Amino acid sequence: MKFISKFKAALLAIGTAAALTAQDAPPAAAPAAEAPKFTESQLLETFGWFVGRRIGLSELGFNAEQTAAIIKGIQTSASGADSPYKIDEVGPELDKFMQAKQAEYTAKQRKKSDDASAKFFDTIKDKKGVVALPSGLYYEILTEGAGAYPKATDTVKVHYTGTLVDGTVFDSSVQRGEPAEFPLNGVIPGWTEGVQKINKGGKIKLYVPYQLAYGEEGRPPTIPPAATLVFEVELLDIKAPSAAAPSEPVSVTTEPVTVETK
């Protein structure tokens, strides 16, 4: 439903822009009609591709027979007919089936992440300047600061960029153009421990295994299950805790962006 809403919003935006343009423009002769670049069939095929991508047909690993059954259900729905089976009866079994498909997908993603993380840590563990901590966190001081070091109970103001081990950016205050501010004990453990290793004005690179990040489940769709994360963090300011009640824990990835850097 979210996809359809976005699709409608995009069409409305296009229509509004066209109306405004037409209103401001001087009268002109009607242009010659141009032949469409794509046939109706091609447009509908692309729409179907979007629908399939949004509901994860490929990621969940449906085979040809299963996909055909899904398409049959879509055709039944498009015809206006009722569900082929009573929802209150088929619903519980459908939930179990989809949960099993999701578990299978997650297990494959965890294995993929584990393999990628093992190779990644092999490449950095002997890198000059990289320090390994007993918790499993690795860090590297990029720029020494000149101020105080934060405590876990402090609120920090930072600029940061977070990537997967393949270089894909999943979150960046730098790209948003606005520093982030949060209590240091209210984010992932890798941040809580790692940011305390730099002082104000310093910059650090954190290599965070999934156990100190978002765990085996990850934060789909931007952070895969069991993903090792890499952060470059610049510590801009430190604020001591106030007497007020502590705020709810926050996530570093509140405004995710996805930018391929490969």
* Residues annotated as part of the active site: 160, 170-171, 188, 214, 231
Phi, psi dihedral angles at 21 (to 5 degrees): -65, -45
- Cα–Cα distance for residue pair 168/113, rounded to 1 Å: 14
Q: Answer yes or no: are the C-beta atoms of 187 and 231 closer than 8 Å.
A: no
Count Cβ atoms within 10 A of the Cβ of residue 36 and give its class: 0-12 exposed, 13-18 middle, 19 or more buried.
exposed
Residues in contact with 259: Cβ distance below 8 Å, sequence separation at least 6, in sequence order = 168, 169, 172, 175
Structure tokens given for 72? 């049959």
Tokens 């941040």 belong to 191
Closest CA to 127 of 135, 139, 117: 139
Secondary structure of the chain: what % helix, strand, coil (to 5)?
A: 40, 20, 40
